[in-house]
Structures are given as structure tokens and as C-alpha cells.
Structure 1
């Protein structure tokens, strides 16, 4: 009804306006009438206080006007209108009748009840839940909290007036209960923005606020600290040029956006800058242009690879979840990132897409759990074996000592000469045997077992032998490299069996663990897949490019095509020779009962003609193949080829590595430190749900930043989040750039959780 257009004039000349749709006419004897759109809607006589209050409550319920405006017209305060509304809801219209003068009944809000209400409210329960637990109304709970806060303030003022130089602070439980403002305006930072050119960065400043979005991202800070991203970046880069957004702010913003599903700079457009700014302690989070400019300033120093190396050293210096040495086992693999732009980028074969595409390639190193440790840009067209050889010195520097490290990789790194080189350099090889090899005798197979870090035991039937690999690259004929081989019998799709072989230079590692560690290499593939889905691993982040080195020697594609013709000619020659042998045999073997046949030269030449023709074709193909050089200048093969800028990409890669390791740490904490029954299946989904949860920021406790998350949809998830909050609070993590210690809690839905 109130949505109808208001009448242009009031129905009574001395009426008091009430919103856009109504007016109040006061009678001389104390009664009154409310008109809405010119029609009488509410009326009360002199002395009918219950009717007057009922009219005010109903006007507020209809939203005929704001509560403040209704209170002003009825000569009361807004809190009085809310009181009337609560009385009407609790006891009906009879509750609006004013109490008679005289002795009143004893108040339910005794000192003990008020203390109990304050204690329960400090646990994060809602006011309604506290009221249900204590046996009073929600309104009484609010009154009790107000009384407690006023009493604490009065006590502090009395102590100060008595001359105490250090007045006592209000009790933490009372301070906790002061109502937090819902989405207040962010603290103004105008002065700091005006003086940004003289600031290294703006320090985080937090104000109390309720129900802010993205509050769950605060959960990431204890795990983010363990990655060493902020410390390593500060060690390598020092600081960004003076500005409002400093180095720590830009990195934290990038990690939090990645955890929220928007790892690219363009993803910041999907966040309200003010809402994300509350998590950063700023009035606004940086936006796309600012992020690109500040990351570009880091890229100008050319220290991205140095930062990646510092992150790797920090990671390998720690220990794994079970206390294991993270540097003991590493996996290496290449990752092809397809390019869809218009620049002339060299083509690489993508195993995921199953065909050659314009792309760049990186060489990644992960630990035994699949967590990324180190990454370098691969040289265009380089093999994994060549990249491994070049990577060994950097790995040795990262490990920091001479201990032997087990390095696992797939068949792309196959090279017996590389195996010998790695063994001499203090690295143990773990890879699959490439090519055909003789099967191992079945009587050499025996049962072996291995128990993993989760206590799960697996068993396999394996044969542990030694094999000699020919070193084809050496000039010494017959030189071989002796290496350990672990063989298994596996089923094939056709219903049969076949043998697969694992090679390693580690002679002491149990055979069961060799099989387990080789299969564990798939954790690296899983890391690529997860990062591609949730952290936009395949994005390029920067499309700046430069000309490739045209004097660089690259494989000549024509030689590969010529070799395919040689292979076809050899196959055709073998087929022709087989047919000729059959024909000659038929000529020399007459039918039964016939005289012996003499094979003449003409007959022989006729049978052998296809063979001689195939020999000539083969010789011609081999001559053409030998005449083509193995490599050619890039400028002659593909003039104008370009390479994408890698510095910006490597900075973003370091950020994504930290975000990935942060997410894996939180998911692991959910699995190991909560009682969530489906944690093994849903830890990552629950983690992402927590990161997107809203909550409160409370700064009333000196030295602490308390984050209280809103309840999750189910009781089980809320209980798991509460356990995680307790575990993260025990870490006593300091919010970067401040002296505030992070504390976590979560609100509960039902009073049934009260002890």
C-alpha cells in the first residue's frame, strides 16, 4: 500500500508528515489518527496507550516510514519502538499496556544472570541462542549486555577519578559483546594516499566490523607464513618504490585472490575493492592497473628466478608433515603452456592436447608430496634430459649440502649418459625403462610391501635385478652403465600380462619403496591439474615479447621427414625381399610328379626386380637423409620468431606456488586436526568454502585481531571449522606489517552446543 504514489496535499492542515505516504493528526485530548494515502488507517483515544504503541509498531512493520522518523513523530526514541515491537512479539497486544505504578516483580537480570549472559555471548553464540540457554528473551540479553558494558565503563571511570594512573580495562568478555557495526565505512586513508610518494607502504589498519565478505581468507595467513613468500620476496627485492601499496600488500593481495579463485590480475575486477580491502587492512584493495604496474616494477629488477630459488631453499630447509626430509626425494617434469595469441611463437608438442601448438615450456621440480619447489623456463625445443643436466647445479645449491637426492622423472628424460652423470654428481635416478627389453624370468619375482605415511600397506610382486645400459653417446664401443632394475608383472587391456621395469641408481632403497616412489610421481601431474583448475597455471600473465635469437641452431624438420621416408623405404625393401624369397622357393620346388625345373637368369631377374627397385629407392632415401643437416639456423627456418617475456610470468608463478602450498597446508590441517568424517574426500572443497565465508573483525582486545566466521551450512562443517580455528589460533601468527596476533573463532547456530 505504501508503494502507491502519495497524494499531492495533506487531508488535514495541521497534520504531521509521516514518510511519503502518511501523516499523523493529534487530537487536543491526547488521541490521534494516522492517515495513509488519505485514508484513515490507525486511531486511538486519549489514554489508549496500548493502541498508540500498536499503531507505531505496525507502521514500522509496514515500512510506512523509517523507524527513526516514526519514533520522532510519536515523541519516543527508536529503541523504544524496537522495545514495543519485542513486547508485541513476546506477549501480544496485552503486553503493550503500560504497567501500573507500584511495586514491580523481581527482575530476571540478576548479577549472576548478567555474568552468565556475557560469558555465553563471548563464545560466539547469537543473542537468541544465549537467551534460550539462560531462559530470558533476546531483548533481555541485549539489556544485560548493555548493563555490563555500562558498568565496566563506570568502574574504569571511577578508578581513573581515584588517581590510578593505569585504569583497569573492561573485562575481555564484556568488550567482546559490544555490538560490532555492520559494514561500516572503511577507515579513511586520504592523508596517506596524498603522501604516498613519501611512504614505503601503507600499514594495515583494521576497524571493528560485522559480517564482512571474504573474512575466511584470514585463515590462510598461518599457512602463508610457512611458505616463506613474504620473507623471501623482502630478502630478494627489498621493497617496491614508494607508494601506498607496498611489496607485502601486493603479494598478499595476489595470494588471497588466487585462493579465492582469481589468480590473474584481471581477476581483481570480480572483487569489490572495499570488501577485499578490509582483509588487507586498507580502505581499498589494489586494482588491475595498480597490480600490473607494481608487478612490472618488480620485473624490472630481473630477480624473479632468484626469488624462486629462495622459495625453494626455504621449502627444502623445512620438514614434511610427518617430519620427513623434503629434499630427500624430488620429481622433475616439463609443463607445456599453450599460447593462443597472434605473436609468432615456436611450436611444441602438447601431451595434453595431443598435437603441436604455439607454446612455452617450463621445467618443474616438486617434493615427494607433489608440492612445487622450483621452476625454470626451459630452453625452446630442449629435451627433458638436457634440462635435467642443466638443472643439477641449481638443485645442488638449493639442497645446500652433498647428501644424495633421489630424482624421479618420466621417459622424457631417458638417457643412459645422463644417468651416469647424475650418479657421479650425487643424485640418484628413478625412472621407467624406455624401449624394448628382455623379460625377467618368473622365478625371480617375489612379494614385497611398503607402508606409506598414512599407514596404508601395499604389496607387489617384483624382481630386483641389475642391467647394463649401452652408453651410445660415448666414443668407446661397448661401454655400458650398470643400473638397478625393479620389474613388475601387470595386466594388459587384452586380458594378458606384460612386464614393466623401473630403473634406479639407489642400491639401498627397498624394492617396495622404489615401486611406491615411482608411482608417486603422479602427484606432480595432479599438482599441474589442480593448479590449472584453481590457480590458472596456464595463463601467461604478460604478453610482452622479444625477438628470438635467429642464430640459435634448431633441429631441421626436413631431416625428420626424410628419415620417415627412409623408414618407409626399409619396410618396403623388407616386404619385397620376403615376397622374392617365396617366389624363388616356388620356382625351385616343382609340383609333385613333375620334372625338376631349371631356374634361368631371366626367371631370377624377373623375381628379384622388385627387390632391386626397393634397394635403389632405399639408397636414394638414405642419401637424401644424410645430405640434410641435423640442425639449421632459426632465422633460416622461421624468421621473425618471438619469445614471450618470462620475468613477469615467473613472479606470478612464485605467487601461485605459495598459494598452492598454502591451500595444501590448510587442507592437510582439515584432514589431520579436525574430526570431519569426510575430510579425506572433501578437505579441499571445505577449505574453499571456508575461504569464501563471511565473518566479523574485532580489534577490542589489545594486541589481537579476532576473526569470527559466520556458521557454515551444516553443523558438521561448522564443528570442523571451529576445530581448525582453534588449531590456527594456537600458531599465534602475526598479521604481516602489524603487531596484531590473529585469533580465530566461528559462530554456532544452536544452543545445543553449550556445555
Structure 2
């Protein structure tokens, strides 16, 4: 500072000293360089060329070092060095900017921009739009930066998860309530049912469950449900919404209506095409209204008929077994043995009939825990006769609880074959009676040592021959199978009989995944007053008889001891008289018991108002919904054969559960009348590949979202085709029912890093 002021001490106060020869002053628009004599160079703040000239010139004139200039101007010292060299080589002219001719985008011409903009307006991703146009993703993004393309379509901009969450929370009428006008008319009783209406939404939590919609509709749930049940009372939620809500809940493992309180009603409502899903009390009220119509049994019969007509071969072998559902309520119900708890306790027993493919066909709920034999005789056989066409013979497969050769003969004459395990003790066969058979089951080779003979069941007054097939196990045990089936080899008899484990697995899977034992209601209804039950008076008389017998044995022992000890003769005489009286009393009680009826009407044993049974209508309805959900899941599982999913037997159902829970973007396309369901990524690339393949298979069938007039298309993202011209394909044999919105399932692609 002193060096500069030596010649001219009057410098600006805000000057920044660069070296002992120059300084710089900055303001909002200019930069001015000073030496001891005053200003020597000035340029604008945003004049980059002028600043480069100053850097090169001052360093070349040795007015300052490069580091000093770089520090003062906030640039790198190497930049100052380059500008010095440039000044030395060409002077001020070296910094002059060459004129650049105007350029126009040669890739994004007007025609290409129009094509890409149309795809962006259809809510395609930038990557998809680039692939459709044959350009790179960077080219599209540069066009968006320049303004040649516009990303957002304001009329159909997808709402993000956070936006929806904020809107759901801010709703004054309740969480996620938005369709106020329709709800107003619903409260007035002027709306039969709210129609599905979709808005573009990103990351819908339950969007993945829509992939099951085509197979759900193919099961006939909505068609038959609307045929059997009358429309519900006017309101926002109607028959279709209730059915879809219940079956989506089952697939999403929302096992009871009460569990809806732990799930977002707005997210589930998007899948239903509404603003929100029904709340718990609304759903329960609607289920009760359906139960009051009393059509559950007809609904079950028509569903079974539909499933049998779709695949008549399922009636070849029918697996029958009972499933006990314990009851813990306050009402008095008949007791039965509960195997899981090893107790005899109040319970209801359902007898399930599964088809040849092991899928459930129908079930019968017994009122008083009847035996398997009587239930087959009185309930199941009449139902099967209605399903079977012509003189086709059906084979009934069940366990030892239905053992009765006399009944087998009766059923055989009626046109039914039987297959069961032999009951009782039987002599083992010599090992030379067995030979080895090999068969492939579930892609695994299985070996059985089998032997067979014809066996006379020893009925009175007639011969009845059945076929006995035995399996010799590795430990020497022989498992005996008895059947009237004569037209198949013994290996297939063994396979069919041992396939009963599939029905056991069905019960276990339904209990774990669908909470099969849950009672949808504890309400009761009057039971049959004439139902026969064991005579309780006999039980009381037997107790009295047992007590007298014990007294008789006690006095007899006293008399024996008195005789040995030579006690008083009078005392012995009294004991003998007591023994004779007790013996007479025993004989009288035995005669009274023999004259009493073994069974009496239940109304004679208890008050008529206490003779109740659990309400069956709502139970049958909810069980049918869970059956349909299981069958729909199984239909998707059957599509996951290799190469779609390599370990489909082990991982298929777990994979489908993950798919149902996967978030997805749901975007309606009104112009092409389609609904795009774009999946978010799954946990690994294997799952993404399997999901993509599953989507491509599903998309070969057309499906309409029920309740709308818009056509829906299923299409994976990588398939380059016009959604409006997708043709029906015969690639798969599954017949999928079509409703009214075409769904496009698109697995989200992974970006490479």
C-alpha cells in the first residue's frame, strides 16, 4: 500500500491489493484495475473474455505473479498460466470468440418431437419413449431441458404416494374421502353403487394384487355372485365392491375385517377404483346384509357347477376329509374330538371335497358333527350326482374313518367307486408278492414296492370282492389300500391314495395363510329340534348302576373277610341280605336301561331356546370367498412352470404373495381405453424376470375391469406394441373372464449404474 501511495496517495478505500504494482476494485457491474497513477484496465463482471485478457496481460507485463492474480480473481493458477501463454502467442486477438453458426437439433426434428411428445403424454417413461423413437435417453432429456419436449401432462399427471397421503389426511369427511357428490346421493339413498373410476397414481401399495383379477373373474365369482344375490341396499359400496374387497383382502393376507384398521383405506380404494375401501363396520354390515338373503348354499352349488363344467376331469377322483373348527363362545354346541388339541370340545365339522387336481370343489357343514360315513351318504353323494353328467363313475378317496364294506357295496351299485386304507389287523404278505414300480411325481422319481390281490369282504349272504393293493415300506411295514377301482394299474392306485397329503396340506395352508378357522360371526340360529342325540337318562342310569356295582363289590369283600375271620353269624347274615338286595337292584336297572331308547330328540334334553347352531350363511359366504382366492392363486401358480420360475414348486406361492404386495403405478389411458399397472422392482433380478414372464402370459388374454365401460389391456413394458390393438391369443389354455378395463402390467426396468 505504501509503494502505490508513494507516487499518488489518493486511491479508493475499497481497493484490494494484488501486488506492489496493481490493485483491483469491484462493484455490481464493473471490475477496475489500478496502479499508482490510477485506473489502467476495466471490464464488465460477466465479461469472461475481458477477464482472461487481464490475466494474461498483467502476468506477461510482470505486474503480478500468476498465483496473486488467481487468488484475487478466484480462479485456478493453471488457468492464469494458460491465458498468459495465449496472450503471448496471439495478443488480445487470441481471446476473440469465433462466430458460431446457428445449429438446429438434427435428431429431434419436428416430426420426431411430435412422436415422442405423444408417447410422453401417454405417461410412458423417458426410457420407453426413447426406445420407441430409436433414440438415446440423453437425447430426450436434452430436448426436455431446451423446452422442445414437455414432460408433464397436466390433465393426467400421476399423483405420488406423498401427495395422496396428504390429500387423504386433509379430507374433512374422513380419511381418503374425496367423491363427495356421490356420497351425498348415497346418504340420500339415491345411489345404487359407486362406479369404479381410476386416476393416475404412482406407487400404489396394493397395486400388485390386480394381476390376480383375470383369474378371479375366470372363477365366476362376480358373474355367479350377481346372479345369485340381489343388489344391496342403495349406498356407496355395492355388491361388486364387497366381493372384490373380500377377495383382495384374502390374497393380501388381510385375514379379518378388523385387520383393515391397520391398512391404508386410500391405497386399497385405488385398486377398487374408488376413493377408499369400506371401513370395518361398513364391511360387516354389508356381509350381514348378504347373509340375510339366505343364498349362500345356492351360491356354493353354482360355483361348484361352474368349476366342474370348466374342467370335467376334476370329478374323476374326489378327495373327502373333515376339518374341525373349534368353538370358544358361550353357546352350547355339540362336542367333537379336536385333533390339534387332543381334546373333545365344542366345534363344528366341515367335510371338504377336493377335485382330482387337489383344488377345493365344495364343502358340507354338518349340524351336529356327523360321522364321515353318514355325511358322505346323506350330503356329499347327492351333491356329486348333480355335478356328474351321464353314467360317469366317480372314485371317492377318504381315510379309515369311512370304513364300511357293506356301505362300499351299496355305493358301488349306485355308480361310485371307493378307495381307502384298510381298517383293522391283517396278515403281512410274503416279500415275493411285491415288485418295484417307478413313477415321476412333481418332477421327482418315486419308487414303490407294490403287490395286489382280490379280497372277499365277507358280507352276509353275498360275496363282495374288492381289490387290495399293498405297499412294502423300507422298514418292512405294509400299507394296505382297498378299492373297487379295477381299470387302472396298481401304481396309479398307490399314487392316487397317497395324494391325500395334498388335501391335508390344503387345510394347513388355508389355516395359516387365510385364517381358515376364524369365525366371521358368533351369532347363532335355531337348530333342528328333532335331531337325535344320545339319551341323557341312560347316562344317569348307567352312573347309578356303576355306583351300585361298586357297593356290591365292597359288601361282597366284607362278607368274604368276615367268613374267614369267623365273625358274628348275625352280622354275616345282614351282609348277605344287603348283597342280595344290591344284586336285585342291579338287575332292575339293567332291565330299565334296556327298555329306554338310545337316542331321543334334542328338544327332550334341553330348553328349546338353547338348541342353537352357529349361523351358516355368513360362514359359507366367507369360506367361498377364501376358496375362490385359493383357486385363483393356484391358477397363477400353475403358470409359473420353468422357465418362468425355476423352483416353482418350492417358491411359487411365496413369489405370488410378494407380487401381490408389490407397489405399482396405476395409470388409466382414456384415449386408448386401457389401464396401465406398472410394477415396481422386486427383491432380486430372478423375481423381476419371473414377473415379466408372468405378465406376458397373462397379457395373452383380454380382461375387462368389472363395472366400467373401458377396455383393459395387459402388456409388459418391454413389449413394443400399440395397446389399442392387442389381439386375443391362444398361448395358454386358461380361459380368463373379461370385464371392462384393460390392465397393462409392466415390471419396472432396472437402471444400470
Same fold (TM over 0.5): yes
**How far is 1:671 from its partner?**
3.0
Residue 649 (structure 1) aligned with residue 584 (structure 2): no
Q: Distance in 2 between matches of 1:566 and 1:671?
A: 67
User: Corresponding residue for 2:466?
Assistant: 483
User: Corresponding residue for 2:562?
Assistant: none
Q: How does 1:555-570 map to 2 (within 5 A)?
A: 555=534
Question: What CA deviation, in whole Å up to 9, does each residue of 1:4-26 have, x standing for no partner?
Answer: xxxxxxxxxxxxxxxxxxxxxxx
**How far is 1:566 from its partner?**
13
Q: 2:373 aligns with which of 367, 371, 385?
A: 385
Q: 2:136 aligns with which of 134, 137, 140?
A: 134
Q: Distance in 2 between matches of 1:696 and 1:104?
A: 42
Could you say what secondary structure the match of 2:496 adopts?
A: helix
Q: Distance in 1 between matches of 2:620 and 2:540?
A: 36
User: Corresponding residue for 1:669?
Assistant: 639
**How far is 1:237 from its partner?**
1.4
User: Corresponding residue for 2:386?
Assistant: 397
Residue 370 (structure 1) aligned with residue 355 (structure 2): no
Q: 1:119 to 1:100 in 2, by over 3 A?
A: farther
Residue 182 (structure 1) aligned with residue 160 (structure 2): yes
Query: Retained in 1: the 8 A contact 2:321–2:353?
Result: yes
Q: Distance in 2 between matches of 1:148 and 1:622?
A: 101
Q: Distance in 2 between matches of 1:705 and 1:501?
A: 56
**How far is 1:251 from its partner?**
0.4
Query: Retained in 1: the 8 A contact 2:323–2:350?
Result: yes
**How far is 1:560 from its partner?**
9.1
Q: Distance in 2 between matches of 1:115 and 1:661?
A: 47
Residue 507 (structure 1) aligned with residue 486 (structure 2): yes
**How far is 1:272 from its partner?**
1.5
Question: What CA deviation, in whole Å up to 9, does each residue of 1:196-236 have, x standing for no partner?
Answer: 32333221111111111111011111110221111111121
Could you say what secondary structure the match of 1:718 adopts?
A: helix
Q: 1:646 to 1:128 in 2, by over 3 A?
A: closer
Residue 445 (structure 1) aligned with residue 423 (structure 2): no
Q: 1:282 to 1:351 in 2, by over 3 A?
A: same
Query: Retained in 2: the 8 A contact 1:721–1:746?
Result: yes
Could you say what secondary structure the match of 1:200 adopts?
A: coil
Q: 2:630 aligns with which of 628, 653, 660?
A: 660
Q: 1:622 to 1:113 in 2, by over 3 A?
A: farther
User: Corresponding residue for 1:16?
Assistant: none
Higher relative contact order (CA 8 A, sep 6+): 1
Q: Distance in 2 between matches of 1:187 and 1:644?
A: 36
Q: 1:135 to 1:105 in 2, by over 3 A?
A: farther
User: Corresponding residue for 1:524?
Assistant: 503
Which deviates more, 281-290 or 460-469?
460-469
User: Corresponding residue for 2:653?
Assistant: 684
**How far is 1:133 from its partner?**
9.0
Residue 247 (structure 1) aligned with residue 217 (structure 2): no
Question: What CA deviation, in whole Å up to 9, does each residue of 1:306-356 have, x standing for no partner?
Answer: 10111111111123xxxx811211111111001122222221101222211
Q: How does 1:223-622 map to 2 (within 5 A)?
A: 223-319=215-311, 325-390=313-378, 391-452=380-441, 454=442, 456-471=444-459, 477-491=460-474, 496-555=475-534
Residue 748 (structure 1) aligned with residue 746 (structure 2): no
Could you say what secondary structure the match of 2:640 adopts?
A: helix
Q: 1:523 to 1:508 in 2, by over 3 A?
A: same
Residue 695 (structure 1) aligned with residue 683 (structure 2): no
Question: What CA deviation, in whole Å up to 9, does each residue of 1:519-538 have, x standing for no partner?
Answer: 11111111111111111110
Which deviates more, 181-190 or 197-206?
181-190
Q: 1:202 aligns with which of 162, 172, 194?
A: 194
User: Corresponding residue for 1:728?
Assistant: 698
Query: Retained in 2: the 8 A contact 1:201–1:244?
Result: yes
**How far is 1:695 from its partner?**
1.2
Query: Retained in 1: the 8 A contact 2:531–2:602?
Result: yes
Q: 1:187 to 1:272 in 2, by over 3 A?
A: closer
Q: Distance in 1 between matches of 2:154 and 2:692?
A: 18
Which deviates more, 351-360 or 122-131?
122-131
Higher radius of gyration, 1 or 2: 2
Q: Distance in 2 between matches of 1:49 and 1:745?
A: 52
Q: How many residues are treated as equivalent by the alignment? A: 577
Q: 1:136 to 1:334 in 2, by over 3 A?
A: same
Q: CA RMSD in A?
A: 4.0
Q: 1:47 to 1:345 in 2, by over 3 A?
A: farther
Q: Distance in 2 between matches of 1:737 and 1:29?
A: 66
Q: Distance in 2 between matches of 1:216 and 1:564?
A: 63
Q: Distance in 2 between matches of 1:178 and 1:105?
A: 34
Q: Distance in 2 between matches of 1:248 and 1:433?
A: 48
Could you say what secondary structure the match of 2:666 adopts?
A: strand
Q: Distance in 1 between matches of 2:590 and 2:154?
A: 86
**How far is 1:626 from its partner?**
5.2
Q: Could you list the runs of 5+ residues in structure 1 that have no partner in the other structure? A: 1-26, 32-45, 51-98, 151-173, 472-476, 568-615
Q: Could you list the runs of 5+ residues in structure 2 that have no partner in the other structure? A: 1-25, 31-43, 49-96, 168-175, 547-582, 709-739
Query: Retained in 2: the 8 A contact 1:448–1:511?
Result: no
Could you say what secondary structure the match of 2:457 adopts?
A: strand
Q: Distance in 2 between matches of 1:49 and 1:209?
A: 48
